[in-house]
Amino acid sequence: MKVLVPVDGSQTSLDAARRAAEMAEKEGAQVTLMTVAYFVQDILAEMPPNIQEKLEREGQRILDQAKEIFTGKNLPVETVLEVGTVPANNIIRKAQEGQFDRIIMGATGKTGLDQVLLGSTAAKVVAQASCEVVVVR
Ligand SMILES: Nc1ncnc2c1ncn2[C@@H]1O[C@H](COP(=O)(O)OP(=O)(O)OP(=O)(O)O)[C@@H](O)[C@H]1O
Ligand SMILES: [Mg+2]
């Protein structure tokens, strides 16, 4: 079972990562953590290198934080850092191309308002992903 866990640094996305770690522990699921740094590829190429580095560092920090949940338990995990303007599109594409069986993600993230019950990234992935989607809240 291949599981994709999109993380954005929010507590809810870390809860999703914990859920995935449980699956790795009990069922031997192969987990990939993924974060999408907000940027347009074309602009990225023209951005000053220090801004690119900053973006990548922030993405890497988000991945490292989630990765700790796995390494702390000696569980294998992979990480992917992509750039894009609509994270749901990257997530949906990655799930399909990587032939993932399941996506585990948060119902909300770090960019939304507290009152929102289901964020736009979660809503789009639930609606359009080609595999099973588990939403953690
Ligand atoms: N940039 C991202 N990279 C990877 N995963 C993401 C990203 N943004 C959101 N996610 C995933 O989607 C889940 C839900 O976040 P979502 O963006 O839908 O809600 P929100 O930030 O509260 O609201 P909104 O973005 O619609 O204003 C997160 O917990 C995380 O699992
Ligand atoms: Mg968001």
**Structural domain that includes position 131:** 2-136
Between 96 and 48, the more confident residue is 96
Could you give the number of structural domains in the chain? 1
Would you state the pLDDT for residue 14? 98
Q: Quick one: tokens of 53?
A: 């580095």
- Give the residue among 8, 37, 3 at the shortest CA–CA distance from 110: 8
Task: Indicate which atom in ligand 1 lies nearest the CA of residue 121.
Answer: 18
Would you state the pLDDT for residue 40? 62
* pLDDT 10s digits, 107-126: 999 988 777 889 999 999 99
Task: Indicate which atom in ligand 1 lies nearest the CA of residue 10.
Answer: 29
List, as own/partner pairs, every contact residues 131-135 make where C-beta atoms lie below 8 angstroms and the sequence separation is at least 24, other chains included. 131/95, 131/96, 131/100, 131/101, 131/102, 131/103, 132/101, 132/102, 132/103, 133/102, 133/103, 133/104, 133/105, 134/16, 134/19, 134/102, 134/103, 134/104, 134/105, 135/105, 135/106, 135/107
Check residue 15 and report its DSSP letter.
Answer: H
Among all ligands shown, which has an atom nearest to the Cα of 109? 1
The verdict on the CB of residue 124 being under 6 Å from ligand 1 is no
Task: Indicate which atom in ligand 1 lies nearest the CA of residue 16.
Answer: 31
Give 121 Cα–ligand 1 centroid separation in angstroms: 5
Q: What percent of the chain has pLDDT over 70?
A: 97
Q: What's the pLDDT band for 41 if we cut at 50, 70, 90?
A: low
CATH of the domain at 107: 3.40.50.620
